[in-house]
């Protein structure tokens, strides 16, 4: 064990050795927090003799959970078996499968993803007769999600809000949405945490079972927890009080999904006997990158005072580039990526381009396609979101839980089997009026007076004979698939029977892109083959809990295009942050909210600290997307926090390399330029793209000269570096 601890720095060793009582580990980016968690688990098991069965480690993504599990197994081998490692959602789903029936949750519940939730909200709005033109389903769903993260039920919603028109709408939709989830025997992502909290609160012996089992609780990325997750953690740690949380307030960037930075900032208040350990040594970034990131983040007020440091070399200066528009921005990125690969040996797969909004990827993608540069777009349509894959999964969910109304309405007429949308609407409306699930309504349509449910025999036939016949045919198909599942057929056999009985493969191949869609279907079959040890419900649960970043492959030699939010937890040799403009980063929505502005600054900090060797901060003077559509932009306020000595002479040249997009770069090296011409205020000049202008000033700049020119028309005032600017005096040949 002494050899194991010798691999850690003093602060890391302190975090590993403190095993009695609450512990807050404030871990800066690149400070080895996953390593510390893994070594802490190994220390508990090998040094203190704690059974892995009594340790729970929680994080936020499946990718992080896999990395943590791999690290622990490297240290402990088979001795790690029995430990609980997973995300909040996966662990809570497991608890609800085992004990959720104590609060009325069916063990075969399905988990609704974002598309399923939106479908159910739209149905709620429609059933309640609410004008969809005045009510955004997304806004309603967001309000419901936020309420659940605060453990506010539909019954309590109005008591906790202001009774505005929107609040009233949310209350009505929340109530109906809750009923529809219950009828479908479904839970959404927020329910997984909220219902576990409810289970622990309402069934003390269940809480006691888990409290007694878990002697040590470790929670990673604690700054990202919401109120419901915090309550869950406190409930589990209630007896032994051995709760270890790891996080960084400076990387709290998810308030839009209800993360509460107060959970980590106030941890010492909530746990007065907590020990605090600071992990401040960074092993990832160069000194220059780290110093620049520190300068940006220290402007925030809501943070723990500390400063990252590193023994790494100073490295290359930051490059701050000001392009003409988003197309030139993209060309610069591609040109520099190729230069890094050729001159510095940095693989494309070790580079990332990061942006604040998804819309910014368009110009980058188009430029990379034209130049034949390989890239991967994180956050694009995921495999499990493709239409044909979602269709098959909807069938599988119905096989596992035929009461799933969202899946039922998705595939009841896919492939077409003579069931019109009007028939579906009538069936759903009738099932609602009778207070029965849609699947039960289908049984009544099919069986009529012979239904085994006596109370159903008295209900009238809701559909016309032709429609009833088509619904009956679908029910027979579905029941035959359910029967195979109940006989415990292997997953791949269930899959094959589904394709055969539904005719879905023939339906797919009849479409123009059928061969491509067939490949996706067969890939899904491979997933079934590779998970034969799971039952269908468990497999569907694992699919539902997959996130965008879970399938990220760091070995692929392609440039990563990714939002700043999605990039947290990753690292790259070179990072290009584009769109460094007011309105994008920081985003315009933060301008009137100091707390949101601090989060935007943290987002910038997260992006900067992903970089190991090279960091580029790029803006465009004109942007045809986003808040400045077609207009002039202003450089991000965050750039002003970076000292010029960290950008270096080379970066300053790039700072003002304005060129015509059609002409391309015309920069001249210092050696070629010789003595730079001096301009005086009032001189008339001509730029190859901006046209005529008048010199405002011309000043020395790191061995060069920066000239400020007021151009005619919309271009306005520009600052240009003389050695790069295609500029001449008016009338000069």
> What ranges in 435-490 are assigned the alpha helix state H?
438-447, 454-457, 465-486
- Annotated catalytic residue 33: yes
- Do the Cβ atoms of 281 and 11 come closer than 8 Å? yes
319 forms beta bridges with 616
Kindly name the residue from 87, 251, 423, 508 that is annotated as catalytic: 251
Distances (CA, A) of 380 to 188, 305, 345, 377: 22, 37, 28, 6
Q: Please tell me the number of Cα atoms within 13 Å of 454 on its side-chain side.
A: 0
Query: Distance between CA 672 and CA 666 in Å, rounded?
Result: 12
Whats the size of the chain, residue-wise? Answer: 733
- Exactly one of 71, 172, 602, 610 is catalytic; which is it? 610
**Of 188, 191, 221, 599, catalytic:** 221
Q: Which of 183, 198, 220, 391 is catalytic?
A: 220
Q: What share of the chain is helix, strand, coil (3-state, %, to 5)?
A: 50, 15, 30
**First-last CA distance in the chain:** 77
> Catalytic residue at 220?
yes
Catalytic residue among 12, 13, 34, 59: 34
Residue 251 annotated in active site: yes
Tell me the HSE value of 228 on the side-chain side, using a 13 A CA sphere.
25
**Structure tokens of 497?**
């029977």
CB-based contacts of 464, cutoff 8 Å, min separation 6: none
Listed in order, strand segments (DSSP E) in 113-239 are: 186-188, 216-219
Helix (H, G, I), strand (E, B) or coil at 549: helix
Identify whether 469 is a catalytic site residue. Answer: no
Q: What is the DSSP string of 501-522?
A: HHTHHHHHHTSTTHHHHHHHHH
d(CA 450, CA 470): 18
Given the residues 33, 148, 303, 397, the one annotated as active site: 33
Query: Between β-strands 684-687 and 727-729, what pairing exists: parallel, antiparallel or unpaired?
Result: antiparallel
- From CA 439, how far away is CA 407, in angstroms rounded? 11
Q: How far apart are CA 104 and CA 557, in angstroms?
A: 49
The residues facing 24 across adjacent strands are 245, 276
- 221 labelled catalytic: yes
> Is residue 34 annotated as a catalytic residue, yes or no?
yes
Beta bridge partners of 700: 705
- Residues annotated as catalytic are 33-34, 220-221, 251, 610
């Amino acid at each position: 064990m002494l050899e194991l601890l010798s691999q850690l720095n003093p602060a890391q060793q302190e975090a590993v050795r403190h095993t009695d009582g609450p512990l807050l580990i404030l871990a800066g980016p690149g400070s080895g927090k996953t390593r510390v968690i893994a070594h802490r688990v190994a220390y508990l098991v090998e040094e203190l003799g704690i059974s892995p069965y009594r340790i729970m480690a929680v994080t936020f993504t499946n990718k992080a959970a896999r990395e943590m599990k791999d690290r622990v197994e490297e240290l402990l081998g088979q001795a790690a078996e029995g430990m609980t490692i997973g995300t909040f959602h996966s662990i809570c789903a497991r608890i609800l499968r085992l004990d959720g029936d104590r609060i009325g949750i069916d063990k075969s519940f399905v988990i609704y993803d974002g598309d399923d939730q939106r479908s159910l909200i739209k149905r709620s709005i429609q059933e309640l007769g609410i004008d969809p033109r005045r009510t955004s389903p997304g806004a309603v769903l967001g309000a419901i999600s936020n309420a659940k993260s605060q453990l506010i039920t539909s019954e309590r919603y109005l008591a906790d809000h202001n009774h505005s028109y929107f609040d009233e709408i949310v209350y009505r939709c929340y109530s109906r949405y809750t009923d529809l989830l219950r009828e479908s025997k479904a839970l959404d992502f927020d329910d997984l945490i909220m219902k576990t909290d409810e289970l622990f609160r309402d069934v003390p012996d269940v809480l006691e079972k888990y409290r007694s089992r878990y002697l040590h609780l470790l929670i990673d990325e604690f700054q990202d927890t919401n109120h419901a997750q915090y309550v869950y953690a406190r409930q589990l740690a209630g007896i032994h009080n051995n709760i270890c949380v790891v996080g960084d307030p400076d990387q709290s960037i998810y308030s839009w999904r209800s993360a509460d930075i107060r959970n980590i900032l106030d941890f010492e208040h909530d746990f007065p006997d907590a020990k605090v350990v600071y992990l401040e040594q960074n092993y990832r970034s160069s000194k220059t990158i780290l110093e620049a990131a520190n300068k940006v983040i220290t402007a925030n007020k809501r943070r723990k005072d500390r400063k990252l440091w590193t023994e790494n070399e100073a490295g290359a200066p930051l490059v701050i580039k000001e392009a003409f528009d988003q197309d030139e921005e993209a060309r610069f990125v591609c040109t520099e990526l190729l230069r890094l690969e050729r001159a510095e040996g940095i693989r494309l797969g070790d580079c990332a381009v990061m942006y604040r909004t998804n819309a910014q990827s368009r110009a980058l993608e188009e430029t990379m396609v034209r130049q034949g540069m390989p890239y991967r777009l994180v956050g694009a349509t995921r495999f499990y979101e493709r239409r044909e894959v979602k269709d098959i999964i909807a069938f599988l969910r119905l096989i596992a839980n035929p009461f799933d109304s969202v899946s039922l309405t998705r595939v009841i007429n896919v492939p077409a089997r003579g069931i019109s949308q009007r028939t579906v609407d009538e069936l759903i409306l009738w099932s609602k009026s009778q207070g029965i699930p849609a699947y039960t309504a289908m049984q009544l349509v099919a069986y009529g007076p012979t239904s085994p449910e006596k109370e159903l025999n008295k209900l009238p036939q809701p559909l016309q004979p032709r429609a009833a016949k088509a619904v009956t045919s679908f029910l027979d198909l579905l029941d035959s698939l359910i029967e195979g599942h109940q006989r415990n057929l292997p997953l791949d056999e269930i899959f094959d029977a589904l394709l055969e009985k539904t005719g879905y493969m023939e339906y797919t191949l009849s479409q123009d892109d059928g061969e491509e869609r067939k490949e996706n279907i067969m890939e899904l079959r491979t997933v079934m083959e590779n998970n034969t040890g799971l039952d269908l419900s468990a497999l569907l649960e694992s699919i539902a809990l997959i996130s965008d970043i879970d399938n990220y492959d760091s070995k692929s030699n392609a440039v990563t295009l990714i939002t700043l939010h999605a990039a947290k937890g990753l690292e790259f040799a070179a990072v290009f942050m584009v769109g460094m403009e007011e309105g994008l980063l920081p985003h315009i929505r933060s301008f009137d909210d100091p707390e949101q502005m601090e989060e935007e600054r943290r987002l910038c900090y997260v992006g900067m600290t992903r970089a190991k060797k090279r960091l580029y901060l790029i803006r465009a003077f004109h942007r045809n997307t986003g808040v400045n559509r077609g207009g002039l932009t202003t450089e991000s306020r965050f750039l002003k926090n970076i000292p010029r000595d960290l950008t270096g002479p080379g970066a300053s040249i790039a700072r003002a390399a304005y060129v015509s997009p059609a002409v391309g770069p015309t920069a001249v090296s210092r050696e070629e330029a010789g003595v730079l011409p001096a301009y005086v205020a009032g001189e008339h000049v001509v730029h190859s793209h901006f046209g005529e202008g008048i010199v405002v000033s011309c000043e020395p700049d790191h061995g060069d000269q920066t000239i400020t020119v007021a151009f005619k028309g919309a271009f306005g005032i520009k600052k240009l570096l003389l050695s790069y600017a295609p500029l001449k005096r008016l009338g000069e040949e």
